[in-house]
Amino acid sequence: MQDGLAPHCRRVMRAVLEGRVVTLLGAGANLCGRPPGEAWERGRYLPSGAELARHLAARFDYPDADPHDLVRISEYAYVMTGSGPLYDQLHEVFDADYAIGPLHRFLAALPGRLAAGGRRPTSSATWPTASTVAGSCTGCPAPMRSWSSGRMSTARSGRTSVP
């Protein structure tokens, strides 16, 4: 490990152990554990950001010839059709029984491991469905937080509440 990296890693681990780290996963996290060369397949592998961008571009007739910018494409879909169709399309993509990948499994298990040491971290994820599924499979008492429809939700033991 590089000289400057080791102290940084120790600081990050100390912050994790003190419960001061909020984990945010980007769309690339969905590629962790996916076999090389395998493409997104609904119900099998979660989409990467680029795969989701191409899917939404096709669905909403995005006029640009290079449909890789997920933010721009989502904004275009929202402006052209409103939030309902975009939300419905995202729901259709993510409302499937995807396998839980190794990164999601690791992060879902982390609160339970840290709770055993008297700590309670907070977790979040880009895809609330994946984080909720991963969190529910561990039986961990720590809350999983997600942002949906402009509201923060907290799930504990299968119940969802809005703080």
pLDDT of residue 133: 40
User: How does the average pLDDT of the chain come out, rounded?
Assistant: 75
pLDDT higher than 70, residue 128 = no
Q: Select the more confidently predicted residue: 111 or 162.
A: 111
- Where is pLDDT greater, at 93 or 101? 93
Are the C-beta atoms of residues 40 and 47 closer than 8 Å to each other? yes
Q: Is the pLDDT of residue 135 over 50?
A: no
| pLDDT of residue 40 exceeding 80 | yes
**How far apart are alpha carbons 147 and 20 in whole angstroms?**
19
Contacts of 28 (CB under 8 A, 6+ apart): 48, 49
**pLDDT higher than threshold 80 for residue 121:** no
Separation in Å, CA 104 to CA 70, 111, 123, 130: 22, 12, 11, 8
